[in-house]
Amino acid sequence: MQSFYELGARLRAALWLIVAVAAILATLVVETDLPLLYGLAGFLVFLVCAGAAPRNLSLEDEPQTLPGKRSSENAEISLNLVTEAYPDPAVMLDSAGHVLFYNAAAGAIFTSLREGGHVSSVIRNPAFLDALTAAPDRGRSITVSYTERVLPVGRRMAVTVAPLSHQGHRARYILVLLRDLTESERINQMRSDFVANASHELRTPLASLRGFIETLQLSAKDDAGARERFLKVMAEQAARMTRLIDQLLSLSRAEMNVHVAPSNLIDLNHVIDNVRDATEPLAQEHGVKLQLKRFAAPALVRGDLDELVQVLQNLVTNALKYGADKGVVRVEGNYRSAQGRGNGRYSIAVIDEGKGIPSDHLPRLTERFYRVDVAYSRERGGTGLGLAIVKHIVNRHRGELTISSKPGEGSTFTVVFDAVEKPQEKPAPSQAAE
């Protein structure tokens, strides 16, 4: 029983702090859409810590009962426990905005965050800094949103600034909570884009199918020749819709993962080999000679094998479809040495002998459903999504996509990725497939 009495005494001693934390968590659940389960979990963790802490812990100094030094130390222990209890990134500041404590989640987002430094060194958004300046005297929490411009992708953050103080007193400490809204906003945008784009692109083939079906049901009901012609066109339109849906799904996956860099080690020579095997039948169909130049040594990059294969396959497929029939498509892998520090970069260029692309179209080629010649693209089975997929996958791999073309001189599409290590020089084998 003595243990229960001691536990009750500790909880009573920290009662005002427990109430304050409960109020803060309730405010966050209501105002910032923090999941209720996270709020309850954070409160229970703090309650356990408060019950295990010494009875004389206090957030504010109480010189009449404790020496100032000991009270300050106990306050710091309590602040640290509160900060660590949150599952989301959390930073505890003093009234001037200097970092006292931060949990592991905050350290993972802001690698330059340091205790004793000012929070403006990692969050420079004016709305956040204004909220932070007014927090000690405001007495209530406030949430602001900002976009962090980190190339090649941005990050959308919601920041709650919660002053910790007795009612009517100036806050000595400020709790900053962060939520990454990037993925949820990207999913919402993807959903709306998918509906808009799919409805637009599917309308034409669906209208064609409906028209042919109505014709077969009425005027061409007994016409065997017309039935054969219509069924062939209907099969082509159905195949077009299938390609479109597959490409939309691939684009959605690429957009969803664009902010997460891959970590696997991939040899780009394996990527070139896979694409050679997959595109040889199409090259033979168009009478195009496919020339491949592999890297002289294993070309290791951080990446996802399936996505890198999709990038190169999309580029080669476009070159085969839109390049000159009976011509040549070259795939060239090269190493670019580092100008300063680093391991250099690997580039893969896909070069065709087609009619080329006017310069005013080049900046828009990676937009969804953008086509230089809509009729010609549809005739060749294009969906207008291939280069958009390439762009998003390359961005996820922290690489670059460059396009150069002149009318009548063909086009060159080049992707570049950072090398994991410098390659060992040796003669590069060349392969050709006809």
Q: Which of 180, 205, 222 is the last residue of a domain?
A: 180
Same domain as 267, residue 215: no
Question: Which residues lie across from 334 on neighbouring strands?
Answer: 347
Same domain, 307 and 245: no
305-321 average pLDDT score = 90
Q: Which of 217, 234, 256 is the last residue of a domain?
A: 256
Which of the residue ranges 6-10, 220-224, 291-295 would you say has the lowest mean pLDDT? 6-10
The enclosing domain of 237 has a CATH number of 1.10.287.130
Do both 30 and 131 map to the same domain?
yes
For residue 148, give the nearest of 178, 192, 187, 103 by alpha carbon.
Answer: 178
Mean of the per-residue pLDDT values for the chain? 79
CA 116 to the chain's CA centroid: 31
Q: In this predicted model, what pLDDT tens digit does every residue of 18-73 receive, in sequence order?
A: 766 777 777 776 766 667 776 677 777 777 676 666 554 444 444 444 444 555 55
- Which domain covers residue 242, as residue numbers? 182-256
- Domain check: are 176 and 190 in the same one? no
Considering the entire predicted model, what is its pTM?
0.51
The answer on pLDDT for 421 being more than 80 is yes
Q: Which residue has the higher pLDDT, 58 or 323?
A: 323
Q: How many domains does the chain have?
A: 3
Whole-number pLDDT of residue 394: 92
CATH code at position 48: 3.30.450.20
191 with 307, same domain: the answer is no
| pLDDT, position 36 | 73
Euclidean distance between the first and final Cα of the chain, in Å? 87
Per-residue pLDDT at 112 exceeds 80:
yes
pLDDT tens profile 333-374 = 999 887 766 788 999 999 998 888 888 888 888 887 777 776
Within this chain, do residues 313 and 222 fall inside the same structural domain, yes or no? no
Question: In this structure, are 38 and 169 located in the same domain?
Answer: yes
Q: Are residues 273 and 420 in the same domain?
A: yes
Residues 174, 187 within the same domain: no
93 φψ region: left (φ > 0), alpha (ψ -120 to 50), beta (else)? beta
Q: What is the DSSP letter of 429?
A: P
Do residue 286 and residue 300 come from a single domain? yes
Domain finish residue from 150, 180, 210: 180
| Contact predicate 244/380, CB 8 Å | no
- The predicted-structure confidence for 124-143, as pLDDT tens digits, reads as follows 888 899 989 988 888 788 89
